[in-house]
Amino acid sequence: MRTAVVLLLFFLFSGCASAWDTTPHRAMTRAALDSLPPAYRAQIAPEIPSILETWCMLPDRYAELVNFGFRRNSPGPKTVEEMQPYCVRPDGETIHSATWDRDEDLASLVFLYMRIASALHDKHPAEAVRYIGVLAHFLEDSLSPPHAAAQPREIHAALEHEVPALRTPQPHSAGAHIVEAAEAILDRLYAAADLNRKNMPAMVEAVSAKNQPALIALCRAPAQSAADLLADSLLTLFQLAAR
């Protein structure tokens, strides 16, 4: 009962803590992982189920624990100490989704990219996939349609549950080094978020009219963009780690 109350309070007041529901997060993350060349995918293959099950939801898990004292029963880390190294930068800033402060967001991306590339280079896949999960969540939540603009809670909730069918991305290198790649990915993330904001009136109209096909169509572009950005990030990091 206490758990139910805590959860209810969490979903009523969490604001930007939740964004996409678990199923859309997993769909976007899976599409990006499926896009990796087989040789790269093989390096983390045994860990892929844990990325989808646990790590791509780690920032929500961390926020639930820190803000509400709610601890998920599902497999995965249970304490702040276990999650902090992946969800909090060394300067103390928490990583969840874009803040739209470019310097802050660049710092988060560079931190995650460096940790992923170094863990892959050192052949520590179990460590790499934890940061990969946080990166996935960061890119995906940033393009969650209701985060583009304020709107009534029922519309927020409706948008977060949509799971449009995604195509497998065709990944490209985002840059020759980590900062260049992070800058390029951030530019594209901000552009995709602008499109989300532009589409918000049409999304609100689709929710109000209970027009599910229109809603799914409008959620497809941001979800696909998130999968594409994650795919390009990962390809680039595997390439850099192999040098």
Could you give the residue ranges of the DSSP H alpha helices within 148-208?
A: 153-160, 178-208
Positive/negative CA dihedral, 178, 181, 183, 189: negative
Using the rule CB under 5 A, give the single segment among 66-74, 117-125, 135-143, 180-188 that binds Zn ion: 135-143
Among 19, 119, 230, 237, which residue sits at the site for Zn ion (rule: CB under 5 A)?
A: 19
Compose the 35-74 pattern: x for residues touching Zn ion by CB under 5 A, - for all others. Answer: -------------------------x--------------
Among 64, 141, 160, 162, which residue sits at the site for Zn ion (rule: CB under 5 A)?
A: 141
Whole-number minimum distance, CB 26 to Zn ion, in Å? 13
Using the rule CB under 5 A, give the single segment among 14-22, 100-108, 114-122, 208-216 that binds Zn ion: 14-22
For residue 97, give the DSSP letter: S
Instruction: Give me the helix-helix angle, 153-160 and 178-208, nearest 10°.
Output: 120
In the complex with Zn ion, which residue's Cβ is closer, 64 or 228? 64
CA neighbours closer than 13 Å in the CB half-sphere of residue 131? 22
Burial of 210 (0-12, 13-18, 19+ CB in 10 A): exposed
Whole-number minimum distance, CB 112 to Zn ion, in Å? 15
Interface ranges with Zn ion (CB under 5 A): 19, 60, 141
